Every structure is written in structure tokens, then in C-alpha cells.
Chain A
Amino acid sequence: MRRFATKQGLGAATLIAALLGAVSAPAARAEDPGKFPGYTLKVKLIGGNQYDPLYKRIPEWEKATGAKVEILSSKNGFDLDKELKADLAAGNVRWCAGWDHTSFMAQYGDLYTNLFDLVPKATQDTFIQRTLQSAVIDGKLMLLPWHTDVSDMYFQKSLYADASNQARYKAKYGKDLAPPDTIDDFRNQVEFFAHPPTMYGTVFAGKEEGLNGRFYEMLLSYGGTYLGKDYRPMFNSEAGVKALEFFRDIYAAKAVPAGTINYLWDDIGQSFASGSVALDFDWPGWAAYFNDPKNSKIAGNVGVARAPAGPSGKRLGWSGSHGFSITKACDNKPAAVSFITWMTDYDTNMLEARRGLMPANAKAFDDIIAEVKAKHDDYMTNVFEVWQKSLAEDAYPVPHIAQWIEISNASYPEFQAAILGQKTPKEALDTAAKKATQILEDAGLLKD
């Protein structure tokens, strides 16, 4: 409450929302950050321009607590991942708090400590519980999320509003043309809208963890299982074949650019923003970008819809959260808890949400929707509402094993071979499962 009183103003829009009753008493706020005068907290943070606004909160924490923050490292996620592994390998952990991600955290089991033991229950309760639970491994909370990702469907509204498209689609598929609610609709519409080279149905991440992640959620939507309870790879199932066939079929139909097999997130986002792609199943961080005329040719023409569901009824929902963790070796855990709580609190979440990122704080999610509604920003209102539902009902993390990235690296060349038609999906999946089995056997997770 005291902190709330001393914080910077929230801006006119929020005040309007507050007057409308959308912003209730600050029950979600963290407690007093405490005082740590003279203490220097050493941290390793993810770097990049997109994180600079978040890090403006660091001086505020320093001022509130009397502590100093020394940033030992600030690299992109993949380079920081390598550095954290090198720290683990060298036994050289002389820092307290650091960046973490739900897709990577299982690798850092010996590095970071269980936050359930350190973070007060009241603070834990401020998070969206499904998101917080995605950061739990074997009953241990590995990170506090600061924003979270799950993919939903972006589409060009004009294509759906076009009367000729509506008539042709109805005639061909016997259904009204509307954003895809099922994977079959998705496939049909991707092929329906494709007129290469001027228009493609969609684009997808064609390599590395991106492809494995997309395959993973497709597999689950087809009713499959990635790893069994005993960690045995089970993705080379009938559901796995159908999941891989989805990618192979739209690739073979030339409904995606041939180069999509090399694309990662930036290529995908740029393709949709260029106006040459009808549907883009993508992360929420792009929402503001796509609707900004400075960056996007389709600004004002972007719609969003919830992820489609597969035959199992499960919607695509591969999710991941950025967050902060505390090292086991930290010499001042109360200061570290104060720091990561501050960096994931309501105000941080609102700051990030105003940039179009999805908050991990439950109250911030409600409040940002109220705020954009008050601004009559129908697009962002729709974005936040669609993603709020997805995060609450559809999102799930990758399997919490340290070998996820390694299995991804072993599997994706096989998936690519199937998509390119070099192997049948079953052959590719069997080879990938064999490689994954060896990785898990070497790690001691599988006994044979």
C-alpha cells in the first residue's frame, strides 16, 4: 500500500479506468520490498532493446531498498543459456538472481532454488495460476514469470470480409468462412488463401526448438503424447504422423513459402507484416507491431482468434514464460526475493502489458483490458481478451526435462526431412524417437 502511494502515476487512461471501477483496491500488490542498504545484488539478465523498458524498474528498486544491482551479463536468451550452462559446468556461480524461461529451466535444476520456500504465498497468489504452475518442476517453483507467451491466430480481416472469398469457401468446404476453430479449418483455409507468390496461406517455424514446439502442440491436439510417464518417447505414434503430415501437406501444397523451413520467429513476423500471408499462428508480442502502420502493411486489417483445436478437442497451446530465478548459491536471498518480486509485480506487468505483452499477473490482465477498453482500442482489447482465455484454458509448457532442447535439436532435422519429402513422416518420427531415446538413456532417465 505504501509502495502504491509512492509509485509514479499510472497515466490518464488508467485513472479513467479506475474511476469506472475497473481498477479495484491494489490487493495484488507485493509487500514492502524491504531495505538492503549497501548490498550489491549481482544478476544475469536477458538483453535486447525490447527489455530496456522493463529494466528501467531496476533503479526504482535500488532507490526503494538502498541496494545496488550489478548486471554481470546481458545477452540474448540463447547466448545467456550457454553462459548459464558454462557457469554450472565451471561451478562458478557467484551471483544471485537471473533470467529464466519455462522452456529452459529444467536444465538449470542445480543452479536455481525452489521459490516456494522463499516467496510468500500472498505473492504467489498474484500470478495467473496456470502460468505459475507451468514453472513448477517436481513440486519446486523454479521462476517467477514476468510475462508469458502462447500462440493464437492472427488473420487478415479483409480476406474474410470479401464476399467472393466467402462464396467460394462455402462452395468448396460447405462451411461459412470464419477464422479457423479447428485444425482442419486451419489447413483448409491455409490452402484456400494461398496464391503464391503474392499470397501464402501461412508460415511456420521450420527449424530448431520452434519446429519441435509447433509439432509438440499439434501432436497433443491430435491426441498424442510426446513422452510417456516413464519418459519414453511416444511421439512416433499415429497422432504424431498426423501432426507431421499437417506441416508436410501445407508445404507440399505450396501454401507456405518454401523458405519457411528455415524461418524462425522474426522471419515469420516480418512475412505476416508484409501482407503476403493470410494467417499467422504466432506469439502475442507481435500484436502491437502488426497493427502499427510504421512497421506493417496490414495495420488496421488484423484480426485475432483463439488457437484452433485438434480432433482431441485440445487447442494448440505450447506456452512459455520469461521469468526470474534465484541461485542456490545466493548470499542474500531476501534481497534476491525482493528484486525478483519487484521485477514481476503488478506495476512491471502493467508496464509490459502497455507494450502489448501478456502479463503473468492476474490483476494486471484484468486492468490492462479495462485500460485499453477505456481508450476504445478495439484491436488491443480483442488481443488481450483472446490471449487471456488462451492462457487461462489452453496453455501448457513443454515437457519439464533438461533434455528438451537436446531432443529438439536431434528431432527437428528429421521433421524437416519429412516436410521436404525426403522421408515419410513415420520414418522421420521413428528416427527422431530413436535419437531421443538414446539421449534420455544417456541422461539416466530411461533404463533399458
Chain B
Amino acid sequence: MRRARWAVPLLLVLPAIVVIAAVVLLPLVVSLYSSFTAYTMIHPASLYRWVGWRNYRRLIEDSGFWWAFGRTVVFLTVALNLELLLGLGLALLIAQVTRGQRLLRTVLMFPMMFSPVLVGFQFNFLLNDNVGLLDNALLQIGAIRQPIPWLVNGATANLSILVAEIWMSTSVFAILLLAGLLAMPHEPVEAARVDGCSAWQSFRYITLPFLMPFVYIAMTIRSLDVGRAFDMVRIMTNGGPAGRTELVWTLMATVGFQDGQMGRANAMAYLSIILSIVFTFYFARKLASARAALGDTA
């Protein structure tokens, strides 16, 4: 009787389980297995050449990989926080607009519509130190005497990539946070105003707590989605020069797809997955606590 009660639901979800196993679980298992092999794309038989921990051992000893890993952590942290701040600012400004808000919301989404490859080319052209717009403009107005090689120096190259990424993705935060602001009830803010709260106090103690679930949802989505910046970085510097802007994504793509060393690339991916898990776990916990706090307030 008990078995029969489970059988029907199980039967109903079985197709979903099969599909998920086929499109998620199986590739994960195969890629994990291949990370212990000498798998090279141009020699399919190498998938069966077991090399044990060799790929992982080499990665752990490879300072270049760990620099790329650390740079990716910093890039993620700085980019997401700045995008959040700027996105929040934009959302608050647009929420104040009474006429033409729909048009502004559409304009705001323009950068999101560009493919990262296009953004990469666009910034590459802007920042080219010989024929680029920025250096030529600065030279013309006499602000500099020699062009600045934006994409060569480690600090300016990483900053340039960060600016391009922020330009491309801030609107994601702005749109999500604007949705939160528009969904927010007006009464608490009006009551605070009547009680004599300053604009900052209203924002800090009423608006922001209400927005926090949206913030963490946006953070979670963006932390998983930020990898699409790979195409942009690839066009702008491809991790160079001399590895100065190398991120885990560019390194993996080079090793996996250009070198065809899928075994090693998969080992990199499994080491990097730690990063995704940490970020996702952190934001999921923060989201839960923000929702709980909102519930308590309500």
C-alpha cells in the first residue's frame, strides 16, 4: 500500500528525472571522469587513458592557474559590488521619474542587448593606444603627451576590463532593483516622512531592507551569469599580456578548445566550481536571511 502511494508520484516525475540525468548528471559524470584522463579532442581514444590525479597535481603546482583563480575572485567581487551600487543608484533615480520612465527603462536595457563579443571589440577600439578614440581625444586636448597603453599595463588593463563589464551588466541590477522598488508599498515611506525621518533614514531603514531580497536574487543571478564576460575579455586581451588579465574562464577556454586538452580543462573547471558553489551558497543564505528579516518586519 505504501509502495503504491509512492509509485504514482515517482512515475510522474520519472520523465523529469530522466531528462535531468541525461542533460545534467551524465555530462557532469563524464566531465569529472575525463578530468582524470589524458583526454585530447583530436585523439578521442585518449578518453580512456587514465592518468589519475596528474591533471589536478599539475594545476595545484601551476602558479599561473592560481593567479588566474585569484584574479577571477577579485574580478567577481569588485564587478558585482560596483554593478550593485551603480544599478541601485540608477534604479532609485529612475523610480523618481514620473514622465518617460518607460522610455528610460528601455534605454537602460541597451547595453544588455549587445553581445559580449561586440562590447569587447567596442572597448578594444576605444582603448587602442594608436588608433583608439580615447587616447586620440586625450592627445588632441593636450591632457596627455604620450598615449596610454590601457590594455598593456596590468592595473589599467584589469580596470579597463572591469569598466567594460560594468558598462555591459549594470543595467541587469538596475532593472531587477527597479522591479523591487516599483513593487514596494508606498505607505511605510510616507509614514516615515510624516514621522520626520530624513531621506537617508527612509532609504536605510525602509527601502533597503525591502530591496535586500531583490539584491541577493540579482547577486545570485549575476554571479552565475558573470561568466559571459569571457567573450569580452577574450576579445580585449585574451588574458594577456603575459597573463596579466588571465581569468579562469579564458584559461579554461584556451586549454580546452584551442589546445584541445579537455581532460586538463575539466580539472580546471572542477577546481573552479568551488568558487561558484561558495558564491551561490553565500548569496542563497543571505537571500534566506533577508527574506526572513522582511517577514519579521512585516
Contacts and interface: CB of A to CB of B under 8 A. Distances in A.
A310 interface: no
A402 interface: yes
Interface string A394-422: 00000000100110010011101100101
Contacts of A108: 42
Interface in A78-107: 78, 81-82, 85-86, 88-91, 107
Contacts of B129: 257-259
B241 A416 contact: yes
A267 B130 CA distance: 9
Interface stretch (B6-14, B201-209, B213-221, B254-262): B254-262
A276 B131 contact: yes
Contacts of A402: 42
Contacts of A262: 151-152, 236-237, 240-241
Contact of B240 (A109, A203, A416): A416
Given A267-B128, A271-B130, A406-B261, A259 B149 contact: yes
A58 B13 CA distance: 50
Nearest to A90: B44
B77 interface: no
Contacts of B42: 85, 88-89, 107-110, 402
A442 B147 contact: no
B257 A85 contact: yes
B147 A261 contact: no
B157 to A, nearest CB: 8
Interface residues of B toward A: which range? Answer: 35 or more
Interface residues of A, number: 44
Contacts of A405: 258-259
Contacts of B159: none
A350 B42 CA distance: 35
B5 interface: no
A200 interface: yes
B258 A406 contact: yes
B146 interface: yes
Contacts of B131: 270-271, 274, 276
A197 interface: yes
Contacts of B241: 206-207, 261-262, 413, 416, 420
A276 B260 contact: no
B152 A89 contact: no
Contact of B38 (A414, A416, A442): A442
> Which of A108, A261, A422 has the most C-beta atoms of chain B within 10 angstroms of its own C-beta?
A261
A208 interface: yes
A85 B152 CA distance: 32
B242 interface: yes
Nearest to B157: A262
Contact of A257 (B64, B147, B255, B262): B147
Given A406-B259, A409-B258, A91 B242 contact: no
B64 to A, nearest CB: 8
Contacts of B260: 85, 89, 107, 406
A91 B44 contact: yes
A300 interface: no
Decide if the interface of chain A is mainly helix, strand, loop or mixed.
helix
Nearest to A89: B41
Nearest to A407: B259
Nearest to A209: B258
B72 interface: no
A196 interface: yes
Contact of A88 (B41, B64, B257): B41
A259 B151 contact: yes
B232 to A, nearest CB: 14
Given A257-B129, A258-B129, A197 B146 contact: yes
Nearest to B243: A413
A86 B146 CA distance: 46
B139 interface: yes
Interface string A59-85: 000000000000000000010011001
A406 B150 CA distance: 28
Pick from B38, B41, B43, B130 the residue with the most CB of A within 10 Å: B130
Contact of A85 (B41, B149, B236, B255): B41
Nearest to A408: B258
B238 interface: yes
B43 A110 contact: yes
A412 B258 CA distance: 14
A107 B139 CA distance: 46
Given A82-B257, A85-B257, A208 B238 contact: yes
B68 to A, nearest CB: 11
Contact of A89 (B38, B44, B237): B44
Contacts of A417: 242-243
A422 B152 contact: no
A270 B129 CA distance: 12
A171 B223 CA distance: 62
Interface string B220-239: 00000000000000001111
Nearest to B139: A197
A259 B152 contact: yes
Interface in B39-82: 40-44, 64
B26 to A, nearest CB: 14
A90 B131 CA distance: 43
A416 B242 contact: yes
Interface string B253-293: 01101111110000000000000000000000000000000
A411 B131 CA distance: 28
Given A88-B42, A91-B44, A207-B240, A409 B254 contact: yes
A85 B43 CA distance: 9
Contacts of A413: 64, 239-243
Contacts of A443: 40
Interface string B107-131: 0000000000000000000001111
A271 B132 CA distance: 10
Contacts of A406: 258-261
Which 5 pairs show the lowest CB-CB distances between chains A and B?
Answer: A258-B149, A259-B129, A406-B259, A85-B41, A416-B242
Given A85-B257, A110-B42, 12 more contacts: A78-B258, A90-B44, A207-B240, A208-B238, A257-B147, A259-B128, A259-B149, A270-B131, A276-B130, A402-B42, A406-B258, A416-B240
30 contacts: A82-B258, A88-B42, A89-B41, A89-B262, A90-B44, A107-B42, A197-B135, A197-B147, A207-B238, A207-B241, A257-B129, A257-B130, A257-B149, A258-B129, A259-B129, A259-B149, A259-B151, A261-B152, A271-B131, A276-B131, A405-B258, A406-B259, A406-B260, A406-B261, A409-B258, A413-B64, A416-B241, A417-B243, A422-B242, A443-B40
